Amino acid sequence: MKEPLQVYAAGSLREVLTEIARAHEASTGQAVALTFGASGLLRERIEKGEGAMVFASADTQHPQRLASAGAWAPHTVFVRNSLCALTQASVNTTPDTLLATLLDPAVRLGTSTPKADPSGDYAWELFRKAEGVRPGAYAALNAKALQLTGGPTSPKPPAGQGTYAWVMDQGQADVFLTYCTNAVASQKEVPRLRVVQVPPALQVGASYGLTVRRGAPEQAEAFARALLAPPAQAAFARYGFGQP
């Protein structure tokens, strides 16, 4: 396969998958073209006819939807992630007080956009868990959450800046619920930001699903297999992702 292999992948995989793809190119000679974005928006682009051969989503629903239409294989979970709270330095919170902080009317809560970006769906799942801990929490969080990223019209950060680091650096939110891997990367970029773990009662696990287009060249299957192999899994672990 002389032309590059088209791989569409969740934005949260940008750094690690770029590293894995470059290693794959070096070992196989097969060029890999990576397209990153919110998984729901990528799935819509594929449904409209774009030529992805491999789709690595931040959830299992979007790959499942492609597979159920018949043109894509059933998905495989290849890594896991979880939610963390990325906060401004001025926000004084801990895992134990996080829910009270999120519910504080003075605290601006940022999320990604549900349906377009699984990170937003996971945030709403956290809101539903919060309801079980504190009745009335779901309605309060649902009403106040600012959907700042991951949507079709969400502003994009300047080149070279991470989305969440940029949103927080701009002061658009006091607390942002995102993947722990994104939160850690954002803190590296903007060291004054803080990463707060979500307590077990509110924690939401994110399973990342991988699927290959039916009838795709063998190189697509080979790349998908490579993502599950020990070298790639070691790279995912280094970036903070969990084992499948």
Q: Judge if 21 and 107 occupy the same domain.
A: no
The answer, yes or no, to whether residue 2 has pLDDT greater than 90, is no
Nearby residues of 58 by Cβ (< 8 Å), 6 or more positions away: 10, 11, 12, 13, 39, 81, 117, 118, 119, 179, 206, 208
**Mean pLDDT estimate for the chain:** 97
Q: Judge if 9 and 90 occupy the same domain.
A: no
pLDDT at position 100, please? Answer: 98
Q: What is the DSSP string of 152-166?
A: TTPPPPPTTS-HHHH
Q: Judge if 101 and 21 occupy the same domain.
A: no
Predicted confidence (pLDDT) per residue in 66-90, tens digit: 999 999 999 999 999 999 999 999 9
**Greatest CA separation found in the chain?**
58
Q: Judge if 115 and 59 occupy the same domain.
A: no
Please indicate, yes or no, if residue 244 is contained in any of the structural domains. Answer: no
The answer, yes or no, to whether residue 53 has pLDDT greater than 80, is yes
Please indicate, yes or no, if residue 243 is contained in any of the structural domains. Answer: no
Q: Judge if 67 and 86 occupy the same domain.
A: no
Q: Judge if 73 and 88 occupy the same domain.
A: no
Q: Judge if 86 and 154 occupy the same domain.
A: yes
The answer, yes or no, to whether residue 164 has pLDDT greater than 90, is yes
pLDDT at position 228, please? Answer: 98
Over residues 164-177, mean pLDDT: 98
Query: Shortest CA distance to 127 belongs to which of 154, 103, 151, 92?
Result: 103
- β-pairing, 109-112 vs 146-149, is parallel
Please indicate, yes or no, if residue 10 is contained in any of the structural domains. Answer: yes
Please indicate, yes or no, if residue 33 is contained in any of the structural domains. Answer: yes
Predicted confidence (pLDDT) per residue in 106-127, tens digit: 999 999 999 999 999 999 999 9
Please indicate, yes or no, if residue 122 is contained in any of the structural domains. Answer: yes
Over residues 36-50, mean pLDDT: 98
Please indicate, yes or no, if residue 218 is contained in any of the structural domains. Answer: yes
Query: Shortest CA distance to 56 belongs to which of 30, 81, 36?
Result: 36
pLDDT at position 197, please? Answer: 97
Please indicate, yes or no, if residue 95 is contained in any of the structural domains. Answer: yes
Q: Is the pTM of this model over 0.95?
A: no
Please indicate, yes or no, if residue 112 is contained in any of the structural domains. Answer: yes
| Structural domain span for residue 72 | 5-79+206-238
Q: Judge if 187 and 211 occupy the same domain.
A: no
Predicted confidence (pLDDT) per residue in 182-229, tens digit: 999 999 999 999 999 999 999 999 999 999 999 999 999 999 999 999
pLDDT at position 1, please? Answer: 77
Q: Judge if 154 and 72 occupy the same domain.
A: no
Confidence of residue 166 (pLDDT cuts 50, 70, 90): very high
Q: Judge if 131 and 213 occupy the same domain.
A: no
The domain total for the chain is 2
User: Tell me, what CATH number does 226's domain have?
Assistant: 3.40.190.10
Confidence of residue 93 (pLDDT cuts 50, 70, 90): very high
Contact 183, 200 (CB under 8 A): no
| Distance of alpha carbon 27 from alpha carbon 201, whole angstroms | 44
